[in-house]
Structure 1
Amino acid sequence: MADVHPRAIPTPAEPQDGNVVQNMMNSARETMESAQNNPTVKDVKHSLTEGPIAQGVKEQTGKASAEFQDLANSRTTPEQPAATGQPLTHYHSMLYRLLSWKNPRATAITFAANVLLIFAARYLNILRYAFKGLYMVLGITASAEIVGRSVFGNGFVTQLRPNRYFIIPRDSLERFTDDFGQLVNFVVIEFQRVVFAENIYVTLGAFLSTFLSYFLIKWLPLWGLALLATSTAYLAPLIYLQNKPFIDAHLQRASDLVSDQAQQMRLLAAERAGQYSELARSVAGEYTAKAQELVGGARQRGNGNVGEKKPVGVKEGDFPRAPREEPVVVEGVTSGAEPSIPVASF
């Protein structure tokens, strides 16, 4: 019986994960170096980094960066407080500097960014794309980790994991909360300043804006109204600054006209008030004289009736007539007889 020797099964060599990853990195580095040493790539790189267009872009980028830095440095509390004596927020000075176009590049960039954000909110489903980007990132990382663990015994994402996760420093959080509180107080203070007419021109402008918005909201969508408000907030100061002498002259003329009309109205009101006051005094004098005449006549009539007043309830017939003749005495009457009593004749 022949001996059966078991066939030796070769065991696969254990993959060397470190060597594979290192080889991939080396090949990628060599490819990048060869691409960088290519003359065509060098020419394109030189034209992009050292050409006139690149120099212009660098110059404008540096100026824009400087303007944004100046805008950030302008976030200081204004020296002039509110009408109540309360200090204003640093957003007052920053917003004034932003909308006054003192930093034109920074203002133009923020204006374009706001317009693009409005159009993006209108035509792009930002929340949907955010979820799409999130699930794609999570799917790629999960797939790479599974493939790495299955093939190489160690995941790719695990090797890219940092030694310490990123956290937001406490100082940054405190600065953020302070800035957010300043922003909220800026909105609250400005609303009250407009309502209580601290600046009458600003209050009138807010009145016209809200009045027009009340009617425009019937025909314009919300994004259109937001676009109109943003364009007005950024472009109205620019138009005023570009035509400042012309606009100031017309505003001064309108102010003088209003002042003249107000002065004429005050003079006319004073004249009318004097006339009505004189008329009221004359009418009051006439009525006072008539009242005095009526009171005096009543007193005179009362004094004349007092002497002619007779007792009530007593008449002449209630008393007998008084005798007008002497009584008669009869002679020759006896002693025993009773004397006769003369009878008075009436």
Structure 2
Amino acid sequence: MSTFDETIDSPPTTNGANANGTPLKETVINNASAAVNNIQNHPITQNVVNGPVATSIKNEAGATKDEFSDLASSRQTPAHTAANDTPLTHYHSFFYTLLTWKNKRATGITFLAAVALIFAFRYLPVLRYGLKITWTTLGVVTAAELASKLVTGSSVTSAVRPRKYYKIPKEFLETSLDDVENLINFFVIEAQRIVFAENVIVTAGAFFSALVSYYLIKLLPLWGFALFSTIVTFLAPLIYIENKELIDSQLEHLANVIGQQTNQIKDLTAEHTSKGFDTVKQYTGAYTAKAQDLVGNIGASRQKIPPPAVKEDAFPTAPKTEFPTSTLDTKVEQEPLLA
């Protein structure tokens, strides 16, 4: 029989000790310690703690921790820049690592946490719970402070009040503000890269997403639209990565078909344009020849018209003698001046 069973069978005496003379407090402590040791050394407990299930859980927890550390360390400014040499932020590499499922455990946990958060805000009154916790805490503190001052004349909160109130360290604030700045600039830069078609495929995908979202927002509530967007954002890259060869072959085939159709359209356009130029050239030549013939006929008809004959008696005979100077002067002097 174990020590625990012997202690149970030994009735305590009236002076706080059992039949063996051991104090009751020490006996209880020893019995509890022995019970804990028995539980820890039991084969079932050892199988649970050190068995394959526990080992697997420990390994998964360690791998998950390593992946989150790798995800956090991926926030490095990329070496490449935008098309106009604009430096990118470290969130470009972070979101690329997150959404490409490089660390599957970290990305999966982040995805499930985002979905759970959407459902929590949809089905749980989070704001009401927050307000309830706030007014309950403040009410208990107020009642305890008033009661202690009325009964004992002292403050109960002064006993638990810290010597100095907690302040956020400056280094943490600077790091946080730097992260917020990089996060905002990430969205600003990416929006401009999409608008100015730095990558045509990305711009086309953004156009398709905006078009689908425009119609979905009319059909789905806000939480449903947020859930749909989150699922597409996390699962679309995973589907592409898992079926990369098939999707790339289909995209290449589609690009070839579009290229062939584009070449046919170019050839037809060039052919019709050439025919149009030839037709215009023919009409232009015909009208030019007709215009030249018309101009030549007008010139020939003008040459056939004889010039009019000029007779000698058509003009008066010029005087052959000069007028006398004295006679002209006398006549001018005799003429009266006009008033």
Instruction: Show the counterpart of 1:239.
Output: 239
Separation in structure 2 between the aligned mates of residue 210 and residue 35 of structure 1, nearest angstrom: 69
Q: Which moved more, 1:150-159 or 1:168-177?
A: 150-159
1:71-82 equivalent positions in 2, closer than 5 A: 71-82=71-82
Instruction: Show the counterpart of 1:217.
Output: 217
Residues 152 and 125 of structure 1: CA distance in aligned 2, closer, same or farther (over 3 Å): same
Instruction: Show the counterpart of 2:191.
Output: 191
- Residue type at the aligned position of 1:160: V
Separation in structure 2 between the aligned mates of residue 268 and residue 109 of structure 1, nearest angstrom: 55
1:1-346 equivalent positions in 2, closer than 5 A: 37=33, 39=35, 43=39, 50=50, 52-147=52-147, 155-305=155-305, 307-309=306-308
Residues 65 and 311 of structure 1: CA distance in aligned 2, closer, same or farther (over 3 Å): farther
* 1:127-161: CA deviation from partner (whole Å, max 9, x where unpaired): 21111111222233334445555666655543222
- Residue type at the aligned position of 1:233: T
Instruction: Give how far 1:34 is off.
Output: 7.9
Residues 56 and 212 of structure 1: CA distance in aligned 2, closer, same or farther (over 3 Å): same
Q: Which moved more, 1:138-147 or 1:282-291?
A: 138-147
Separation in structure 2 between the aligned mates of residue 84 and residue 265 of structure 1, nearest angstrom: 33
Instruction: Give how far 1:63 is off.
Output: 1.3
* 1:226-271: CA deviation from partner (whole Å, max 9, x where unpaired): 1101000000111111111111111111111111222222222222
Instruction: Give how far 1:296 is off.
Output: 1.1
Q: Which moved more, 1:70-79 or 1:118-127?
A: 118-127
Separation in structure 1 between the aligned mates of residue 189 and residue 236 of structure 2, nearest angstrom: 23
Separation in structure 1 between the aligned mates of residue 198 and residue 236 of structure 2, nearest angstrom: 21
Query: Which stretches in structure 2 are left out of the alignment for 5+ residues?
Result: 1-25, 315-339
Instruction: Give how far 1:311 is off.
Output: 7.1
* 1:293-340: CA deviation from partner (whole Å, max 9, x where unpaired): 1111111112222x154679x99xxxxxxxxxxxxxxxxxxxxxxxxx
Larger-Rg structure: 1
Of Structure 1 and Structure 2, the greater helix share is in 2
Instruction: Give how far 1:172 is off.
Output: 1.0
Instruction: Show the counterpart of 2:332.
Output: none
Separation in structure 2 between the aligned mates of residue 140 and residue 67 of structure 1, nearest angstrom: 43
Q: Number of residue pairs matched?
A: 283
- Residue type at the aligned position of 2:228: L
- Residue type at the aligned position of 1:208: F
Separation in structure 2 between the aligned mates of residue 35 and residue 175 of structure 1, nearest angstrom: 53
Give the secondary structure class of the aligned counterpart of 1:217. helix
Separation in structure 1 between the aligned mates of residue 208 and residue 103 of structure 2, nearest angstrom: 28
TM-score (norm 1): 0.74
Separation in structure 2 between the aligned mates of residue 35 and residue 116 of structure 1, nearest angstrom: 45
* 1:81-109: CA deviation from partner (whole Å, max 9, x where unpaired): 11111011111110000000000011011
Residues 266 and 183 of structure 1: CA distance in aligned 2, closer, same or farther (over 3 Å): same
Residues 205 and 155 of structure 1: CA distance in aligned 2, closer, same or farther (over 3 Å): same
Residues 253 and 177 of structure 1: CA distance in aligned 2, closer, same or farther (over 3 Å): same
Residues 165 and 53 of structure 1: CA distance in aligned 2, closer, same or farther (over 3 Å): farther
TM-score (norm 2): 0.75
Instruction: Give how far 1:194 is off.
Output: 1.0
Separation in structure 2 between the aligned mates of residue 227 and residue 155 of structure 1, nearest angstrom: 50
Separation in structure 2 between the aligned mates of residue 233 and residue 260 of structure 1, nearest angstrom: 33
Instruction: Give how far 1:59 is off.
Output: 2.1
CA contact (8 A) 1:118 1:226 kept: yes
Q: Which moved more, 1:281-290 or 1:147-156?
A: 147-156
- Residue type at the aligned position of 1:299: G
Give the secondary structure class of the aligned counterpart of 2:218. coil
CA contact (8 A) 1:193 1:199 kept: yes
Separation in structure 1 between the aligned mates of residue 70 and residue 168 of structure 2, nearest angstrom: 26
* 1:67-94: CA deviation from partner (whole Å, max 9, x where unpaired): 1111111111111111111011111110
| Cα RMSD after superposing both structures | 2.9
CA contact (8 A) 1:148 1:156 kept: yes
Give the secondary structure class of the aligned counterpart of 1:102. coil
